[in-house]
Amino acid sequence: MELKEKIIQEIKKIYDPEIPVNIYELGLIYEISINKDQAKIKMTLTTPNCPVAESLPKEVKDSVMQVEGIKKVELDLVWDPPWNKSMMSEAAKLELNL
């Protein structure tokens, strides 16, 4: 399995505390890029006032650091484009009956 797939699998273990869907399927991860042993991740939250605004990015960073072959993680929390329900995967929409 390539490094990016391993990172995605690790991120899929993290669930939004208010929505019973993992943050990858929710569409909160905008970009994952890898350069040798370094991962760069762009992510957002469902809202800027999200109750896990402090802890969720750290949880993502810590999880990705567990992936074998990754030595450094740079995480950018971005608000543009703003998250909306259309960014969710089909699986997430089915899970939430949308």
pLDDT, tens digit, 9 for 90 and up, residues 1-56: 699 999 999 999 999 888 889 999 999 999 999 999 999 999 999 888 877 788 89
Sign of the CA dihedral with 29 first, then 11, 88, and 96 last: negative
Q: What average pLDDT score do residues 50-78 get?
A: 93
More confidently predicted of 52 and 74: 74
What is the predicted pLDDT for the residue at 1? 65
Domains of the chain: 3-83 (3.30.300.130)
Burial class (CB in 10 A: 0-12, 13-18, 19+), 21: buried
> Is the confidence at residue 83, as pLDDT, over 90?
yes
Looking at residue 79, the DSSP 8-state letter turns out to be: -
Starting from the edge strand earliest in sequence, which strands make up the sheet with 29-35, in order? 29-35, 38-43, 72-77
